[in-house]
Structure 1
């Protein structure tokens, strides 16, 4: 059994963490500061609570069906055609997430790294890497995430510690913020950074101990939430909330301010950018991979690689739809927030139906 289903609890947790830590790392302090000023760390904690609620519901659901993913068992719970409708919505949503995340990656690349490079080039390169990776099995998918996660965590930790001496803790007061506005909207926007962890539904059928997916989900949210907390605390403590509002990518500016005196690296922003690119890749990879596997199961295709190439033009077109950065953020935030209704409400509906029908939980 262990050889047939080799995904461990720890590896499932690493997939969740590396998926959550992604594209929003650079810009979310700006959004949080605009909403609640110095209360941004508290707002991040509230977003963690929302995400925890959503993922716990999902984990409680999927561990009742340890040898199937949500696309497969949902038809037995709510019927063939209602399930196919909602499952198609899930696929469309994560395809859109893949496109918007890729566009965000391209925007940062031309703004920070390669200003003379057409944005289409950056988007196509990222898509090629993601598509090549998506041809692998679910087990290899989990290995790829496990391989890259330590580098992502170490880079974030080094940046946080290296800039510690420049923190002004007064900038973090008052804890609840000065003039909080649109707190609910802001909390949901930050919580949307966690929803790509929906990919955990693909891991359960391959786990040695499927019942432990709840522990993987909880620790995944906690650890990734701690990283987001480190980012928001270091940014606000360094610049203050008012200056953070003026920075397009506050986390990158915080990394530029971090130095290791007398060390091999005088500036750490180059290392941070590498870590950020890796984290963006793992997030887009999870969104795209879920879309491919879900489409395979929805249309009853034996090999998911059939859909790997077919989705490329769709994702590329979605990435190019926003005319500018402002339009991208406006529409992107709305899509991600409404997507949370789907990724939370649909599993909650299935969980309630499974309880009503008396579906026994797996003892594994």
Structure 2
């Protein structure tokens, strides 16, 4: 276990990468080919790629804030200025609300997929409760246990998803991607916004800056690598979806990635139904996403209220998550719910690290100016 001299747990570089990767990959992978091609059409994969680069730039700002202010979090802002402290409190409250809404939406989407594809006779409420209870059990432990669970499950996510993404090109016809660079810029931008929900999860690193040593190059590199893998997987899946079905047909599929996996065969017929293996991997991905969102909400509330344990918060938050998860009456309302949550997350993730970074630069320039004025 990595610890500082004060006993604060410090994540290893592999744990930083694992937390970002496994938190980012979640339910969004099932709907991504449809949501990005709805506006960007055959250029949907470009929207996913640009969205990944944008998310990586925001993550890099979070890393730089952590490098400059190693004990800062979204609850206690980095720069020691009055404006930064004023911004920190409402920003923390909005981020907590965002993580709660995201966790609830993820659990509900998980339930809709399982009820549709696997357990058709099982009540939706039972499936949603099962995932929330699994996340609740994870939240009952400390942050060290949480990140070690991410580290343990990472190979289960990384290898199968990458293999499935590559095998999905079996029925691909790349003519459906043409014209390659002829697209509507407005549609491309809307596609980037649509892809933002699939990339959400990396922002949790901003809450645990006191547990991540971003002053070490290995940790900074691990954070970026943690987002590169989801971006590669998403781009491959969207390209395979467009090339296999065409962007028009993707609009008629509720879970296009699952349909894509159903058309894929494993060489040698090792697995006759690849979607069963895919869903098994996807359950682990959803568990890590729900667990991280649940844990971050409780951890941030603990910091905000300045109490010692987050476990009592988790007990009170569990029924709230279930209520929010069951709030949409049907799957179409659920998609609208997730759309607005994704927009909120995109705005938060773009603005918060930029504001903190700018305030830090202003504080640094002011300090240098004051030192210069004090010199004879």
Q: Same fold (TM over 0.5)?
A: yes
Aligned residue for 1:357, secondary structure, equals: helix
Change over 3 Å in CA distance of 1:63–1:164 after alignment to 2: same
Q: 1:239 aligns with which of 245, 249, 259?
A: 245
Offset of 1:180 from its aligned partner? 7.0
State which drifts further: 274-283 or 156-165: 156-165
Deviations 1:106-154 (A, max 9, x none): 1111111122222111111000000100122222211111111111122
Q: 2:66 aligns with which of 62, 66, 73?
A: 62
Alignment-derived partner of residue 260 in structure 2: 254
Alignment-derived partner of residue 10 in structure 1: 14
- RMSD, aligned CA: 2.2
Residue pair 1:256, 1:269 contacting (<8 A) in 2 also: yes
Structure 1 gap segments, 5+ residues each: none
TM-score, normalised by the number of residues in structure 2: 0.89
Change over 3 Å in CA distance of 1:188–1:147 after alignment to 2: same
Aligned residue runs from structure 1 range 306-321, under 5 A: 306-321=312-327
Alignment-derived partner of residue 187 in structure 2: 182
Aligned residue for 2:272, secondary structure, equals: coil
Aligned residue for 1:225, secondary structure, equals: helix
Alignment-derived partner of residue 177 in structure 2: 172
What is the aligned length?
360
Supply the distance in 2 between the matched residues of 1:75 and 1:326 (Cα, whole angstroms): 43
Residue pair 2:165, 2:237 contacting (<8 A) in 1 also: yes
Offset of 1:81 from its aligned partner? 5.0
Offset of 1:96 from its aligned partner? 0.9
Supply the distance in 2 between the matched residues of 1:177 and 1:241 (Cα, whole angstroms): 14
* 1:156 and 2:156 matched: no
Alignment-derived partner of residue 199 in structure 2: 194
For the pair shown, the structure with the greater C-alpha radius of gyration is 2
Supply the distance in 2 between the matched residues of 1:42 and 1:34 (Cα, whole angstroms): 13
Change over 3 Å in CA distance of 1:75–1:57 after alignment to 2: closer
Offset of 1:246 from its aligned partner? 1.4
* 1:118 and 2:123 matched: yes
Offset of 1:24 from its aligned partner? 0.6
Structure 2 gap segments, 5+ residues each: 368-376
Supply the distance in 2 between the matched residues of 1:206 and 1:179 (Cα, whole angstroms): 43
Deviations 1:181-222 (A, max 9, x none): 633222112023223211112443223554444323322222
* 1:71 and 2:75 matched: yes
Offset of 1:237 from its aligned partner? 1.8
Offset of 1:302 from its aligned partner? 0.9
Aligned residue for 1:358, secondary structure, equals: helix
Supply the distance in 2 between the matched residues of 1:11 and 1:237 (Cα, whole angstroms): 35
Supply the distance in 1 between the matched residues of 2:39 and 2:138 (Cα, whole angstroms): 37
Residue pair 1:48, 1:225 contacting (<8 A) in 2 also: yes
Residue pair 1:38, 1:176 contacting (<8 A) in 2 also: no
Change over 3 Å in CA distance of 1:182–1:103 after alignment to 2: same
Q: 1:218 aligns with which of 213, 224, 234?
A: 224
